[in-house]
Amino acid sequence: MKTEKTIALVAHDNRKKDLAEWVKWNSENLIKHKMVCTGTTGIMIEKILNEKNMNPKKGNIKIKKLKSGPLGGDQQLGAMIAEGKIDIIIFFWDPMEPQPHDVDVKALLRISVLYNIPIANNRSTADFIISSHLFEGKYFPILKDYSQYLKRNTI
């Protein structure tokens, strides 16, 4: 993991306000990194960061925006994880509301664990990640070798 991280920011509808507040609070740290968002979360985050960006010489902050989660954004993000393109995930999901794409959310959480990606599902964990000394430096996650599972499941 390089010094400049690629951070995925995702929020279910009932948690978008929480993520917006967190991004505002942490904007100075976040703008040093690349960001990827699903759906309308990306539009919201880009607007927040550009409102906070007081230096017109820097230009607008651009965020890679994927599709909405229910329309495949979670799967796009999962593919980026598998390709080694995501370093950290901040995913404020709503534990009280069933989602039409719950299986995609579960798959995203599974692939994050499989590839040892730090993932915050609530504000406290997101605060710990962004305030860690590892956030600004190089970090080399240890990946588990899952090849034994492939051998067991082949014909």
Each domain of the chain, given as residue ranges in start order, spans 6-152
Residue 90 identity (one-letter amino acid): I
The pLDDT score that the predictor gives to residue 153 is 65
Burial of 91 (0-12, 13-18, 19+ CB in 10 A): buried
Specify the pLDDT at position 58: 63
Q: Among the options 18, 74, 94, 104, which is catalytic?
A: 74
The verdict on whether 74 is a catalytic residue reads yes
8 Å CB contact between 94 and 13? yes
The confidence score (pLDDT) of residue 120 equals 97
- Return the pLDDT at 143: 84
The model's pLDDT over 63-99, given as tens digits with 9 standing for 90+, comes to 999 999 888 899 999 999 999 999 999 999 888 877 7
Burial of 68 (0-12, 13-18, 19+ CB in 10 A): middle
Predicted TM-score (pTM) of the model is 0.88
Give mean pLDDT in consecutive 10-residue pieces for the chain, a chain of 155 residues. 90 93 95 94 92 66 90 93 96 81 86 95 96 90 81 66
The confidence score (pLDDT) of residue 95 equals: 81
Look at residue 98 in the predicted model and tell me its pLDDT: 73
pLDDT computed for residue 49 by the predictor = 92
Supply the CATH classification number for the domain 6-152.
3.40.50.1380
